[in-house]
Structure 1
Amino acid sequence: MNGIQIPGISNPEAIIPITGEKKSYKLVLDFNDGAISIIEARYLDSKLHREIQDLSDNDVTILGTEISDGAYDENLDIHCDKCNKFYRPYCRLHPLFKIPDRVLKRDESSNLSFSQQTLPILFRIEESKLPNAGLGVIAEVFIPVGMVFGPYKGRRCQKKTDFYKDGYAWLIKSGDKRFYIDGSDAERSNWLRYINSPRFEDEQNMLAFQTNGKIFYRVIKPIRINQELLVWYGSSYGNEFVESENGNKYKKPAKNPFICVGAQR
């Protein structure tokens, strides 16, 4: 599986070897929890885990420094919504793993829009299971908690009047800067534009968040095969920091749960 690993750890006591001996770790899909996890390589069990990537002892030992709210730096630290704490660089208990868009050259002869062509092989796009929602994104395989997708792509705009169509634009607040990402043009956006919002909060399985002037979507509940991806913009995660331009009144999280370090997409 291709992607950028976002490591944490499931066993904090194993981070610093008592004997000084170097250990090796595995980033895995933990079937018990339905989530991304990190284990020592010697505990890998094919019945309990699906291996994603090797991690070295050095990768793991640097993780999980707790940061106070007052010292939080959006460019360095990650807020873990499960622990409700900031960590530099990541939470050890709740690792994340970024899945990239499908990388391809624009195929002008395809019947699919460019945004549909960026869809990872994990999903398909078809009529949404929600009434009057249009197209939606459906899982072809089991998608665990901790997977991250993005950034949301589109045309950068400076004001609302520049939008092609309401419902596809996000307001980005980065320091003193404010601008919009408009994904209404299917030839200039990516597959995230097809992910719908749920009818109520309990139906959500993804969370949208901002970091480094970009929007990402994170899986917060296990997504089963043939289940639709639904991203919630609910107020339970904090104060508003990103606004969608479709007239809803939902608020988004002020504390970002993920920072995409070094990803240029």
Structure 2
Amino acid sequence: MFVVPKDQHDELRVCNNQRNTLQMSRRNLRQKPRISYYEPEEPSLDEYIFCDECADFVYEYCAIHGPLLVIPDDKPPSVSPFPAYVPRAALTIPHVFLHLAPSIIPGAGVGVFSTLTLPRGVRFGPYCGVRTQHVDSMYCWQIYSRSHKRSHVVDAADGDRSNWMRYVNCARNWREQNLIAYQYQGQLYYRTIKIIPRFTELLVFYGSEFASALHIDLGKYNAPPGYAQKFGNVLFNGSLRYFLGFTWSLVHAKILKQETAMPWL
């Protein structure tokens, strides 16, 4: 049996006391709340949505009236059920709720119609297409960055690389407009702003510049004062506050296409 000398025994006791003190200090450090020296990042403007009931912008969803009713696209089948060629975009339409048919607008070709009555606050999208930096077709939407600058364009000219939203036409006046286009988290969506009866065409407004290109009389289209504020009628959420009066924030780069109804309709 080995006996520890008294002087070494005292040193060992001191070491044990120091070890216990260190362990206690470590436990105390774990219990202390960590302090972050980074400023919290403010939400981007396109993380807000517009609540029709509150008539105001809310972060992500309205805590009082709940989130929007999201209707996703149909997943197109691997093999088309139609004997003739049908663009992939046409096969993505949520067929329980919507269908394609000749537009009520003369010369507009195909349009999107409600199969069932749609309530206000329904979200469709996102708008799909090819990401590019140039407006090369009549099916483009401009997307903005977190710093409110132009980021890129979504071009849905290719019917096999887009979705059904490319078929939504421009309203000729504010009374027949029943959709609002808005950007959310870097993507573009359509939202119903009123009850849409069944067999009614879905129509959105492209913005004053391109409405003029579609030969729409803006004098007749102009809505009553406060109409845009009532529905958050802006492409980029929050731009009503920051870019009011700048038409480029509302522009949909689409020009009327003289196309005939698809033969399979």
Normalised to the residue count of structure 1, the TM-score between the two structures is 0.59
Amino acid at match of 1:98: V
Structure number with the higher helix fraction is 2
CA distance in 2, matches of 1:108, 1:203: 33
Contact 2:75/2:92, CA 8 A, preserved across alignment:
yes
Structure with max Cα Rg: 2
Instruction: Give 1:85 shift.
Output: 2.7
> Which of 98, 119, 124 in structure 1 is aligned with 2:70?
98
Match of residue 179 from structure 2: 206
1:115 Cα deviation from its structure 2 partner = 0.4
Pairwise CA distance, 1:247:
5.8
Who is 1:192 aligned against? 165
- In structure 2, do the counterparts of structure 1 residues 211 and 194 end up closer, same or farther at CA, with 3 Å as the change threshold? same
Q: Deviations over 1:29-58 (max 9, x none)?
A: xxxxxxxxxxxxxxxxxxxxxxxxxxxxxx
Q: Distance in 1 between matches of 2:61 and 2:115?
A: 29
Q: Is the aligned partner of 1:143 residue 2:93? A: no
Which has a greater percent of strand?
Answer: 1
* Alignment gaps of 5+ in structure 1: 1-70, 249-265
Q: Which of 110, 120, 130 does residue 105 from structure 2 map onto?
A: 130
> Aligned residues, how many?
174
Once residues 204 and 82 of structure 1 are traced to their aligned partners in structure 2, the CA distance between those partners, rounded to angstroms, is 18
Give the counterpart letter for 1:123 in structure 2: L
Q: What is the deviation of 1:241?
A: 2.9
- What whole-Å deviation, never above 9, does each CA across 1:87-136 have from its counterpart, x for those lacking one? 33422236411100001344367432100100112111111011111100
TM-aligned CA deviation for residue 79 of structure 1: 3.3
The residue number in structure 2 matching 1:85 is: 56
Paired position in structure 2 for 1:174: 145
Distance 1:123 1:75, change over 3 A: closer
Quick one: percent identity of the two aligned structures? 35
2:249 partner SS: coil
Residue type of the alignment partner of 1:79: F
Structure-1 residue corresponding to 2:194: 221
In the TM superposition, residue 76 of structure 1 has moved relative to its aligned partner by 4.4
Which residue number in structure 2 is paired with residue 115 of structure 1? 89
Structure 1 residues 234 and 202 mapped into 2: Cα distance closer, same or farther (>3 Å)? farther
Note the C-alpha offset of 1:199.
0.5
Distance in structure 1 (CA, Å) of the matches to 2:250 and 2:103: 24
Partner of residue 29, structure 2: none
Structure 2, unpaired ranges of 5+: 1-41, 209-227, 234-239, 257-265
Q: CA RMSD in A?
A: 2.4
Corresponding letter in the other structure for 1:116 = A
Instruction: Name the SS for the 2:182 alignment partner.
Output: strand
